[in-house]
Structure 1
Amino acid sequence: MRKLLISAILLILVLVGCETGTDIDEVNTDGSPIWTTVIPESNKYLYGVGRAKLTSAVNSENAAQSAARADLARKIQTTIQEAQTSYTADSSGSVADAYERITVETVNITMRNVKVEQKWTAPDGTVWALVSFHLNELDDLYSLAANDYLTQVEAKKIETENNLAALLLMLSEVEGKDTSQVAAEGTAMAEDIIAQCTEILEAIDSDVLAAALAERFDS
């Protein structure tokens, strides 16, 4: 009997461990999808829910999907920010702005991979939409956005260095005029930009941040 009880407990634990969250195919007692009343939860997906009631069914459906995508975008942004908190907590200035831009661009890329899971029209004409995104793709998309941004920063740094060199060369060839102030101001502006770019390039490691996302969500 004891062995049977232990086996039963182990089976229950296994089943619980396999649970991934809300079953989006469940329905409420009134026949509406479960996700219209319970926000779906999963360890593999993020979901967005939206609803709309406009003058036509087509407009209502489009608006509902847009609302669902906006809901999902907010959740993805929050998810990324929470995952990278330990890396960004001490960031400020240009580095903090860089993290924010990478997060926003990741969300933009992610929205191209969103799937419309279900649509439902209520008796009163309100259209509901459920969209999803698989979390195991998030680290790759973050890495893509981060590397693209860092490439732009590197290019900006090189361009600024080249522009400064060209400016100083041009000023050195000017005769009969005092160009020291122009040179000083141009150098100060360029060096400020170069310093910001260097700080960003040294502070942000896209591979480390992508790995943090992968560790948190891959299964």
Structure 2
Amino acid sequence: MKTELRSCAACGEPISDRFFLEVGGCSWHATCLRCCICQCPLDHQQSCFIRERQVYCKADYGKQFGAKCSKCCRGISASDWVRRARDLVFHLACFACNQCGRQLSTGEQFALVENRVLCKAHYLETIEGGTTSSDDGCDGDGYHKSKTKRVRTTFTEEQLQVLQANFQIDSNPDGQDLERIASVTGLSKRVTQVWFQNSRARQKKHIHAGKSKKSCMDELSQDSSVHCMQSEV
């Protein structure tokens, strides 16, 4: 009996091989199933991805269509700590005021202006056109009085990328590593050390908040079960 040969979705040639691959309802020569980005063969991979008739390996699919940080535009992995603002997602270290570069803490008020994150102070300056109240250091004629202000460090996207990458490897680097990271980023060792301290504190706060929430839910569950038992008696 004559049987119609399948056509390969990649090369269009008939498939006469004893073994072939089927992906997304299409047939492929084993040697033709490749990632459209890196061209690596996928015949021995456990999985692959198809989107708009294009085949991707897992790594390239994640790069193309996976979640990305709205600040640094780098990919976000499942193990990364993130913050969300509306439909935007940020790395923990990237969730900082665009004006002053200060990282924002849990519960702190902030604003989104054209997808830019602003702390409360700089948001108020934006909507008020830079004007502030009379007790902010201005004299009666409207001139600013000289007063000492703490200088805040502003991090560039490249510096944040380096800092975050090293934080994922070791959240508490020693003095030698701090000097190395400071040298790479162009920051002082003291600023680098403070950044790591703040990031560890925020991470610890997130973990503690998650445990507290779970503990609260466990207590509610226990109370409910006791109440039911008493009702039966």
What range describes the TM-score normalised by the shorter chain of this pair?
under 0.3
Larger radius of gyration: 2
TM-score for the superposition, normalised by structure 1: 0.21
Q: TM-score, structure 2 length as denominator?
A: 0.19
